[in-house]
Amino acid sequence: MSGYVEMGRVIHNTQIGSDVWRMSIYAPKQAKEAQLGQFCNVRVTGGTAPLLRRPISYAGFDAEAGTIDLLYRVVGKGTEIMTQLREGDTLDCLGPLGQAFTTADRMLLVGGGVGIAPMLCIADRLQPGQEAHVILGFRNASESFWADLFKDSPVTVHITTDDGSLGTKGYPTTVMETLMKEEQFDVVLTCGPTPMMKGVAAVAQQMGVPCQVSLEERMGCGTGGCVGCACQGKSGTRYKVCKDGPVFPAEEVFF
């Protein structure tokens, strides 16, 4: 899907962690059409610096209210400019872009860092008959605000921290194997740092459960028009992550 430009109106833009912000935008067309795991490519300035749009996943969308939610970490100039947006400001959003996750009845969601955003979107929008466990991986307890985002979602949350200051010490894969022995899952969906997703995909494969991963390649156009986001698939196929992904079957891009 190549998306369209919608001039969104910022409803709020709030800092929720030391370098993480949550923005709610009135963008009724995308709010109605977005699917789980898709993203929008935002133009953070009307000028030329930075020239390229910045891809951000939908962390939520509400067709009735006409709003989309973005969760973003400030890592450079583009995301820094986003923090300056205030209620009533306009943000140029190109979307919905990319391929969505395929959900199932019994899901294991695994998110790390800002990769938690699309997991939140899935957790908030479970369909009748669907249930999910969520494993969230943080560096330390200071990032626990991510877990608070799930407090109204009908999911069971498991937390791991690299230093053991909250939840289980280690990476999400530390609790994944035990959980997958205790519970039945139809699919594992994951988004986060590539090493984490590779570990998650390996455990899922070992347990015989299909896994979908969402790749966070650097992007140019976001719509398939350049080769800024190429990745090599197992079968030798050259994929464009923005158009053919960002969601792929793990075995197609990792093994």
Ligand X SMILES: Cc1cc2nc3c(=O)[nH]c(=O)nc-3n(C[C@H](O)[C@H](O)[C@H](O)COP(=O)(O)OP(=O)(O)OC[C@H]3O[C@@H](n4cnc5c(N)ncnc54)[C@H](O)[C@@H]3O)c2cc1C
Residues that bind ligand FES (CB under 6 A): 219-222, 224-229, 240, 242
Binding mask 61-100 for ligand X (x = CB under 6 A): ----------xxx-xxxxx---------------------
Pairing label, strands 60-62, 131-138 = unpaired
Residue 221: contacted member of ligand FES, ligand X, none (CB under 5 to 8 Å, by partner type): ligand FES
Q: Which is nearer to ligand X, 180 or 244 (CB)?
A: 244
Q: Which is nearer to ligand X, 167 or 246 (CB)?
A: 246
Instruction: Classify 164 as helix, strand or coil.
Output: coil
Q: Which is nearer to ligand X, 20 or 180 (CB)?
A: 20
Single-letter code of the amino acid located at 86: R
110/237 Cα distance (integer angstroms): 26
Where is 78: in which H helix or E strand?
helix 77-82
The Cα diameter of the chain in Å comes to 53
Q: Which two tokens stand for residue 30?
A: 């995308």
Binding mask 113-152 for ligand X (x = CB under 6 A): -x--x-----------------------------------
Show the CA angle centred on residue 28, arms to residues 133 and 103, nearest 5°: 25
Footprint of ligand X (CB under 6 A): 39, 50, 54-57, 71-73, 75-79, 114, 117, 216-219, 246
